[in-house]
A and B are shown apart, each in its own frame.
Chain A
Amino acid sequence: MNEMLHEVTLTVNGVRRTASVPARRLLSDFLRHDLTLTGTHVGCEHGVCGACTVLVGDEPVRSCLMFAVSAQGLEVTTVEGLGLRPDARDCATGQSMNPVQQAFTECHGLQCGFCTPGLLTTVTAYLDDHLDPTSDEAREAISGNLCRCTGYQNIVKSVLRAAEIKAERRAPDAAEPGEPHPGPVAAEGVPS
């Protein structure tokens, strides 16, 4: 079929990326298929499950409910980019993790990992605005993300732990080991 193609350029995880795609290409598929950033997962494709959540600017949005053409010129952060953020540190695995990723590993906030990219982006944005959530608030914050495995208990714990790690890393004399990550290089995958 001869569909008209649009040249779409956006900044993904600090890197300018361009691809020619039909107008109907969802941002989720643009990231996964055209840019091969398969960290963003697709569950329901109608906004309900939250697996596809990415940050546009600083805000979480459903990448399955946005066309790539509409994202022209915008800055997008996917789960692959969280380890490049200023509060990310090199961790025991040798990978760079932001506080939320670190907390999910410490608290077993995932099992199969399908929901995890959406939770990590959602919680990352949430903690930028809410420094010290209660566990009720943490529950509310993740209420738009479905997880079929964990029963959510460890995800709630992870949110609370992430807030602590974030506070530790913010403190100027933080005893936290590891160096701040130097910034965007190439997009890396999350540990799987």
Chain B
Amino acid sequence: MKPAPFEYHAPRSVEEAVAVLAEVGHDGKVLAGGQSLIPILNMRLASPGHLIDINHVTGLDDIEITSDSVRVGALVRHSGLERSDSTHAALPLLRQAVVNVAHPAIRNRGTTVGSIAHADAAGEMPAVLALCDGTVEVVGPHGIREVGWQHFFLGALETVLAPDELAVATRFNRMPPGTGTAFAESARRSGDYALAGVAVRVTVSDGVVSAAAASFVSVTDVPSVLDLTPALGGRELADAGFGSALDQAAEAVREHVAPETDIHASADYRRMLVAELTRRALPIAISRSNAAFVHESAVATVSSRTNAAFEGLGGGRR
């Protein structure tokens, strides 16, 4: 099907964009990469009277890396984030996750900030924003405000963004030293939205886990971070009992998530899947924490139990 008629606006600056948004109010929609919005328009699930195309707005396509954070502008495409080596060096979780978003042709247009603004519970990047304790920078008629991830998402496809506000960037905080991250998901077909997915981070010092956490895709309606330190904290990687700590972490995940049944998978299956994905992702994150090198033998035993099967679960996509 084809979209219903709309009036097209192509502002050149953030101020101009916000002015148009304020003028058209609820009848307007921001058009970024269009990879979620245009399917919705094509299927006539929505027919806004005005589209505000931000693709010509200047100053929104930068990735800025500081010692604390990676700031991603609203016109940075998923593929730009994926390709940026300096971004990968600063915060490897971004590339680990973004390669799981759709297919290359869609990543070439779709924006990372757009996928956060879209707030799909099946989106990878909202979960990543949460695990990085990130912030959304929002500009409206009354100036800039910053919204922490906990306050940004209201429900599936629902955020605190007002109709006259533009998300101009998101800031992902970098990880403390000694932290490794991993992302794992499972989808029916490569590039599809995941049935379940997980992003994990583990901080290791002197061979002992000092902090761990996970956030989830497709199994919670808004992004949420589960602290896994109670399960893993203080555990020595070399300890033969580390496997049971991983079981405990998986159990905590099973209890935390609230998946729904749909045509693609039952709630129970998703719950089982995300717990297992977490169990497999944690050792990978540990093996990537710098500190892990000290206790290489311990890490090798932990991860060798899981890696072979991991590829088949879709977590192995680069």
Contact = CB atoms under 8 A, between A and B. Distances in A.
Interface string B63-74: 000000000000
Contacts of A59: 79, 105, 108
B191 A144 contact: yes
B191 A143 contact: yes
A160 to B, nearest CB: 18
A47 B39 contact: yes
> Taking each of B8, B104, B109, B190, which has the highest tally of chain A beta carbons within 10 Å of its own beta carbon?
B104
A125 to B, nearest CB: 8
B4 interface: yes
A3 B5 contact: yes
Interface residues of A, number: 30
Interface in A28-65: 29, 45-47, 50, 53, 56, 59-62, 64-65
Interface in A136-157: 140, 143-144
Nearest to B5: A3
A99 B256 CA distance: 52
B68 to A, nearest CB: 32
By DSSP majority rule, is chain B's interface helix, strand, loop, or mixed? loop
Given A23-B6, A24-B4, A47-B106, A65 B35 contact: yes
A115 interface: no
B5 A1 contact: yes
Nearest to B50: A23
A113 interface: no
Given A140-B190, A143-B190, A66 B108 contact: no
Interface in B8-59: 8, 10, 31, 34-35, 38-39, 41-43, 51, 53, 55
A14 to B, nearest CB: 21
A181 interface: no
Contacts, number: 91
A127 interface: no
Given A4-B7, A60-B104, A60-B108, A65 B191 contact: no
A22 interface: yes
B2 interface: yes
B1 to A, nearest CB: 7
29 contacts: A1-B5, A4-B7, A6-B8, A23-B6, A24-B6, A29-B2, A45-B39, A45-B42, A47-B102, A47-B106, A56-B108, A59-B105, A59-B108, A60-B105, A64-B38, A64-B42, A67-B8, A67-B31, A69-B10, A70-B31, A70-B55, A140-B317, A143-B103, A144-B102, A144-B103, A144-B104, A144-B105, A144-B190, A144-B191
Interface of B: 1-8, 10, 31, 34-35, 38-39, 41-43, 51, 53, 55, 79, 102-106, 108-109, 189-191, 317
